[in-house]
């Protein structure tokens, strides 16, 4: 058989193949082709089953149905060009999925959705109906795409299925190598999927961020003070701040000076530090110096505070690091990446995890 015609006057349609006219279920081998069918004509169906009107789009279909001894093997390819969903339509039969996101994920940079949906089954199965099976396959695909979008992008663009999970070291806002690789793959994905937009949360974890920030501030203070002392020294071979702080005895002197700057000249030193200070420099052993230094550092950290604002700024710096990785090359429009406010989150395996989301 061969049927050659057009759909809605302009879209070519061709059906051809072999059919056993006495028993089509014993042997049928058909190919069906429709090219450039206007999808606005299927709005009644899209409204009922998808919950949206269709504003624009052309559908091309290539189907190959082979039935032999009541066993069906079907190859189905659907190519949808420039699909645009319109207003929502209330329907009890409509799927409850973020279809706009699914469409944006499936479209390539040219606005084309290309789907292969093979179907197999037995015509003797009383529940076997080709139309519901096709619809179920479409719904399953859309569900996977909408509920696990980064898994799809990871498969398509060579990245991890968890490219939306970006880990930062406590107190830091620098992408590590794994994070940079994820952003490289995500950039490729967003360049190809031009309708996607990305939300980047400014996340922080007080449990692990606050101690690291406090320790970092103390290190900065000690380095600055040691640098001043080295510059003020009249010795010809004055050592650097790093060398000073690496020596337990010299570090003790710097810590005592910083302690008095922060807590006042008359503030009592911690017990071991007080005992160590009372000894002459020659009698200060490494064990007492290590304990005294630890006490002084703990006391200085305890007096320092990291505010919620400080933590929020750290979260924003992390979000900007992701922004820079995606937008720095100029290959992506800045309007597609949004930094969003985020509340504190517990750490994940000792690190701070930002979870990106698409829309």
- pLDDT per residue over 226-279, tens digit each? 888 877 776 656 678 888 899 999 999 999 999 999 999 889 999 999 999 999
What pLDDT, on the 0 to 100 scale, is given for residue 235? 60
pLDDT at 92: 84
Residues of the chain with pLDDT under 70: 45, 126-135, 234-238
CATH number of 149-359: 3.30.1330.60
State residue 161's pLDDT score. 81
- pTM of the predicted model as reported, rounded to 2 decimal places: 0.75
pLDDT of residue 120: 83
* Distances in whole angstroms, Cα of residue 2 to Cα of each of 5, 8, 11, 30, 73: 10, 19, 17, 9, 20
- What pLDDT does 96 receive? 80
- pLDDT number for residue 346: 94
The predicted structure's pLDDT at residue 95: 77
Give the pLDDT of residue 90: 87
Domain with CATH 3.30.1330.60 in the chain: 149-359
Q: How far apart are CA 29 and CA 9, in angstroms?
A: 27
Question: Which pairing describes strands 357-358 and 198-202: parallel, antiparallel, or unpaired?
Answer: antiparallel
Cα–Cα distance, 351 to 24 (Å, whole number)? 63
Q: Helix, strand, or coil here: 3? A: strand
Mean confidence (pLDDT) of the chain: 89
């Amino acid at each position: 058989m061969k049927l050659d015609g057009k759909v809605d006057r302009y879209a070519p349609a061709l059906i051809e193949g072999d059919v056993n006219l006495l028993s089509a279920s014993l042997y049928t081998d058909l190919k069906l082709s429709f090219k450039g069918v206007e999808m606005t004509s299927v709005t009644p169906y899209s409204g009922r089953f998808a919950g949206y009107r269709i504003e624009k789009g052309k559908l091309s279909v290539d189907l190959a149905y082979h039935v032999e001894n009541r066993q069906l093997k079907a190859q189905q390819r659907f190519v949808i060009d420039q699909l645009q969903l319109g207003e929502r339509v209330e329907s009890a039969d409509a799927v409850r999925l973020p279809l706009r996101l699914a469409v944006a994920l499936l479209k390539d940079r040219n606005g084309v959705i290309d789907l292969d949906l093979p179907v197999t089954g037995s015509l003797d199965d009383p529940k076997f109906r080709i139309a519901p099976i096709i619809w179920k396959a479409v719904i399953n695909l859309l569900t996977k795409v909408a509920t696990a979008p980064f898994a799809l992008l990871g498969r398509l663009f060579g990245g991890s299925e968890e490219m939306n999970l970006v880990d930062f070291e406590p107190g830091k806002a620098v992408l590590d190598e794994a994070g940079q690789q994820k952003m490289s793959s995500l950039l490729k994905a967003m360049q190809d999927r031009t309708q996607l937009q990305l939300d980047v949360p400014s996340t922080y974890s007080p449990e692990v961020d606050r101690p690291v920030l406090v320790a970092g501030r103390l290190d900065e203070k000690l380095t600055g003070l040691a640098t001043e002392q080295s510059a003020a020294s009249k010795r010809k071979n004055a050592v650097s701040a790093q060398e000073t702080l690496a020596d337990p005895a010299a570090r003790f002197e710097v810590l005592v000076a910083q302690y008095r700057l922060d807590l006042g000249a008359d503030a009592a030193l911690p017990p071991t530090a007080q005992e160590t200070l009372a000894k002459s420099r020659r009698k200060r052993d490494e064990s007492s110096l290590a304990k005294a230094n630890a006490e002084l550092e703990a006391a200085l950290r305890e007096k320092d505070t990291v505010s919620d604002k400080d933590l929020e700024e750290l979260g924003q710096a992390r979000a900007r690091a992701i922004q820079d990785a995606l937008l720095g090359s100029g290959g992506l429009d800045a309007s597609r990446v949004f930094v969003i406010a985020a509340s504190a989150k517990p750490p994940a395996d000792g690190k701070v995890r930002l979870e990106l989301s698409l829309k």
